[in-house]
Amino acid sequence: MGRVTTRVRTTRLDTAAGAAVQRPDTLAVEEPLQVRVGGQPLTVTMRTPGDDFDLVLGFLHAEGLVTCARDVHALRHCTDTGADGLPTYNVVEVTPAPGVARAGSVVPRAFPTTSACGVCGVQSVDDVRQRLRHDVAADPLELDVALTAALPARLRAAQAAFERTGGLHAAGLFDAAGELLCVREDVGRHNAVDKVVGWALREGRLPLRSCVLVVSGRASFELVQKAAMAGVPALVAVSAPSSLAVSLARETGMTLLGFVRPPTANAYAGEHRLRTGGPAPLSR
The set of catalytic residues is 117
- In this structure, are strands 91-96 and 180-186 parallel, antiparallel, or unpaired? unpaired
Helices marked H in 140-271: 145-149, 151-157, 160-165, 189-202, 221-229, 243-252
Dmax over Cα atoms in the chain, in whole Å? 67
Cα–Cα distance list, 226 to 27, 48, 84, 141, 230 (Å)? 28, 19, 37, 18, 6
In the 8-state DSSP scheme, what is residue 119?
Answer: S
Q: Cα separation of 37 and 96, whole Å?
A: 7
Cβ proximity of 268 and 228 under 8 Å: no
In the 8-state DSSP scheme, what is residue 22?
Answer: E
Q: Cα separation of 8 and 90, whole Å?
A: 21
Residue 174 DSSP SS3: strand
Cβ proximity of 268 and 239 under 8 Å: no
